[in-house]
Structure 1
Amino acid sequence: MKFISILSIGILFSLSGFAQEEKLINEAWKGFSDPQIFGSGFTHKLNDLPLEGNVDLGNRAWSGDYWSAKKGSINYRWNAPTKIGYKLVSPSKAEAQKMTEAELATLAPSEKLDLLMSRYDYPLVREVDGVATPTASIWAGICHGWSPATLYHNEPAPKLLTNAEGVKVPFGSGDIKALISYYYAFHHDAGSDQMGLRCFFGPWTGGAAARGCQEDLNAGAFHIVLANKVGLQKEGFVMDMDRYREVWNHPIIGYKSTVVANNLQPSRDAATTAVKEIRVKTVITHADGSAPTWGTVIGTDNQKTGTQEYTYRLELNNEGKIVGGTWESAKRPDFIWNVPRATEFSGLFTALPVLLND
């Protein structure tokens, strides 16, 4: 459904320092759309870039829930007969020691991690209460956490772990996915690399506001990153696939480009060094969301992927290097971004590594 892969309201990503200023360069992109934001040493020559590629996935790019803020985020008791996400009455130590594994399995992901860490005051549950709200938009959630988590970490399998008081806490795969996604969303303070600016307007606004959401992610710069990261380096990144206000974050895991027109004359706004343009159709493959499950989803019908098609023009200089581009399709990405992989977990998430399959 439309709201499965969405960035939480108010979550913005800062640009790296050099990306905040427009560069005095011949290429058609501005500083906030320069491929250097994603790394140095990228190949810009079109003939040296593969027209298709896929990420080396292994056991990654698993489908997961977006943990709707409207439903309570990871306070949502998804595995209970009565599914609630607010006003939880979490068990005391004495109550937890008397509960069966089946009863404990119905608790929310946040409650289970608190129990595993013998935190019977439930600090994570209380924190999540401050993030979730019943008045949130239906698309608000933590897919800005799920997207990097699924790119970096193997799909977690169900686990039964015992806390210091002997309480055996059962975790389903969906519980662990919720916790690692929440960690990346709110506790992974490592900065981000972002190309393009977030649009805060909808297509219904029209005029200059909507037009301002069209070209801040240059099509040529986008193609350079896509072909280098996915095609050459076999690494994914995260993309907001909707060009307007709502943010649809998905992890990009593959692409296939087709040149549909060659030797086009440079556009009026092309880079000053452009000598010709080509028209490209690119089909992006991304991991998609699915409802939480107790077992793993890779290899089952609950593992979801999707595609999106974009058409754009690439501007080439006399060396065949991409120096700019223009979007032609009505659909186009808003921005692309990455964060580093989390290697250490502390605070409320100190016990998280024992739940992962890394």
Structure 2
Amino acid sequence: MMSPATFAAGFAALAVVAHGAPLETNPFMIENPEILLDHQHPALGMSIPENAATFKTDVVLNEEAKTNLTRRLEATSHDIRALESHFRRRMIVNPSQLPVKATYKPVPWPGSYWPTYQDGINVRWDGNQPSAAEKYARAFNLNPKSFMDALSRNNGILAHSSRRPCTNDYQCYDLNDGSACAKRDGESRGHCIPTWFGLCHAWAPAAIVEPEPRCPVNKNGVTFQPNDIKALITQVYDGARVPTVFLGARYNGPDSGEGVLDKYGRFADPAARDLGPGFLHIAITNMIGLLNTTFVADVTAGAQVWNQPVRGYEIVSTKPMSTQEGAKQFFNTQTYPFNNQAKSLLYVRNRISYIVESNDNVPLVSTGRVEYFTTKREYEYVLELDAAGNIIGGEWVGNSKQNHFDFMWFLNGRAADNTVLRSGLSYKNVKDLLSASIQGSC
């Protein structure tokens, strides 16, 4: 049964969850996966807003799944259908026909997630130099205080003024949610805000679709450093309402306690078990391996959300095995308990690489320094195969049972050229700064 927190996390319609792992029973969050990137989006880099719609849950048991003779994933998996609809092509589902390694190019750029407890892009990241927000206001003839207040009300400290008041971090400790006492510049009092809250949901996709700034740019007497421009690009994507394709289901906890794990050591809540490894294997090998496109992933299975741009993958080892062998080795049982239709299993170790955060104020991709901000992590799973060797599901095994991607998503385009946020931030102005930074000499 799904936890109350997961019910509160839904966004707009039907989700299907299961006790097993066939592809057609992987949990998904929304009936239409193409949704706008805004503060109702399930990838939001903070807790789910209280006014988010709940979703209806149908529990599909293995006993019911037995009667479904059409288990081919293109006909049964919601998320696979979404990929096929978006790319207008069938996904290849036989592991032997998929590339064993691939890297997406151009490499996404590392950047900050502009933590909320630091007031987002209002933070003075460069010592005593003005923040990216203050620089933008001065260069484009906006009132700095009004502009920065508007940003703070949107996704900074002022947006969380209903949280516990504080004057120091100790006063937030007993919340047990990683909160720090967040105070705006020049103020002595603030509010307890979890330190993972931020703009990772805006930085990660922007790092994929926008080029990395290189050189400082002077505009109307104001010097914008590359990191300032990264901040402004990130802020644009937080408010530009760009269409996205969202796959999987966000899990909102609890991360520990009685009943969190089932008897096989897996998360009991299906929203925590996904992304299912069967779907992830198909998605990453088709998207990066065959289509040279990539996606953003929440790389933690728990309640916190850490959106990271995925760079590549490498299948480092595989081992074919019977369902009985897999059941005994990984789940300490004589028969495989999760998918009655599986004829065999394929054990996989997949080394996936993704980009992590950085505040470095220099080009990172073009200089090769991006390697220092690329994390490589191995994931273990078994793919469930039908008689033809096609993937029909999968299960996480080993340490990956509790450490795996939670969901994945990607933009369906860039921000519109005429985008202007309520704060007054203009994508055209930011894009002009970005172009000048790329073309500059430094």
Are 2:50 and 1:50 equivalent residues in the alignment?
no
Contact 1:28–1:270 (Cα < 8 Å) also in 2:
no
Q: What do the CA deviations read for 1:130-185 (whole angstroms, capped 9, x no partner)?
A: 121222211111111111111111111234343xxxx312111101111111221x
Change (3 A) 1:222 1:77: same
- RCO higher in structure (CA 8 A, sep ≥6): 1
Task: Determine the structure 1 residue equivalent to 2:338.
Answer: 269
Task: Determine the structure 2 residue equivalent to 1:108.
Answer: 131
Q: CA deviation at 1:344?
A: 2.2
The residue type paired with residue 170 of structure 1 is T
The residue type paired with residue 246 of structure 2 is Q
Task: Determine the structure 1 residue equivalent to 2:275.
Answer: 217
The residue type paired with residue 137 of structure 1 is P
The residue type paired with residue 84 of structure 2 is G
CA distance in structure 1 between the partners assigned to 2:396 and 2:72 by the alignment: 16
Contact 1:271–1:315 (Cα < 8 Å) also in 2:
no
Counterpart selection for 1:61 from 90, 108, 111: 108
The equivalences for 1:181-200 within 5 A come to 181-184=234-237, 186-200=238-252
The residue type paired with residue 431 of structure 2 is P
Are 2:279 and 1:234 equivalent residues in the alignment?
no
Partner SS state of residue 53, structure 1? strand
CA distance in structure 2 between the partners assigned to 1:191 and 1:123 by the alignment: 29
Q: CA deviation at 1:281?
A: 0.5
Are 2:123 and 1:76 equivalent residues in the alignment?
yes
CA distance in structure 2 between the partners assigned to 1:30 and 1:177 by the alignment: 41
CA distance in structure 1 between the partners assigned to 2:256 and 2:232 by the alignment: 36
Contact 2:103–2:289 (Cα < 8 Å) also in 1:
yes
Counterpart selection for 1:149 from 206, 209, 212: 206
Task: Determine the structure 1 residue equivalent to 2:351.
Answer: 283
Task: Determine the structure 1 residue equivalent to 2:363.
Answer: 296
Contact 2:254–2:260 (Cα < 8 Å) also in 1:
no
Q: CA deviation at 1:253?
A: 0.8
Q: CA deviation at 1:122?
A: 5.3
Task: Determine the structure 2 residue equivalent to 1:309.
Answer: 378
Change (3 A) 1:147 1:11: farther
Task: Determine the structure 1 residue equivalent to 2:20.
Answer: none
Q: CA deviation at 1:263?
A: 3.1
Q: CA deviation at 1:208?
A: 4.7
Are 2:243 and 1:175 equivalent residues in the alignment?
no
Contact 2:134–2:144 (Cα < 8 Å) also in 1:
no
Are 2:409 and 1:337 equivalent residues in the alignment?
yes
Deviates more, 1:148-157 or 1:119-128: 119-128
The residue type paired with residue 222 of structure 2 is V
Q: CA deviation at 1:333?
A: 1.0
Partner SS state of residue 110, structure 1? helix
The residue type paired with residue 112 of structure 1 is K
The residue type paired with residue 308 of structure 1 is R
Higher share of residues assigned helix: 2
Deviates more, 1:276-285 or 1:153-162: 153-162
Q: CA deviation at 1:7?
A: 5.3
Contact 2:240–2:415 (Cα < 8 Å) also in 1:
no
Q: Which runs of 4+ in 1 moved over 3 A?
A: 20-25, 27-33, 121-124, 300-303
- TM-score, with normalisation over the residues of structure 1? 0.79
Q: CA deviation at 1:39?
A: 3.3
Q: Could you list the runs of 5+ residues in structure 2 that have no partner in the other structure?
A: 1-42, 158-181, 183-191, 262-266, 325-335
Task: Determine the structure 2 residue equivalent to 1:125.
Answer: 148
Contact 1:259–1:278 (Cα < 8 Å) also in 2:
no
CA distance in structure 2 between the partners assigned to 1:243 and 1:215 by the alignment: 7
Q: What count of residue pairs does the alignment treat as equivalent?
A: 317
Change (3 A) 1:283 1:7: farther
Contact 2:322–2:343 (Cα < 8 Å) also in 1:
no
Deviates more, 1:324-333 or 1:33-42: 33-42
CA distance in structure 2 between the partners assigned to 1:31 and 1:179 by the alignment: 41
Q: Could you list the runs of 5+ residues in structure 1 that have no partner in the other structure?
A: 1-5, 82-105
Partner SS state of residue 356, structure 1? helix
The residue type paired with residue 391 of structure 2 is I
Deviates more, 1:310-319 or 1:37-46: 37-46
Q: What do the CA deviations read for 1:200-233 (whole angstroms, capped 9, x no partner)?
A: 1143234158520443322111100010011111
Counterpart selection for 1:351 from 409, 418, 429: 429
Partner SS state of residue 355, structure 1? helix
Q: CA deviation at 1:21?
A: 11
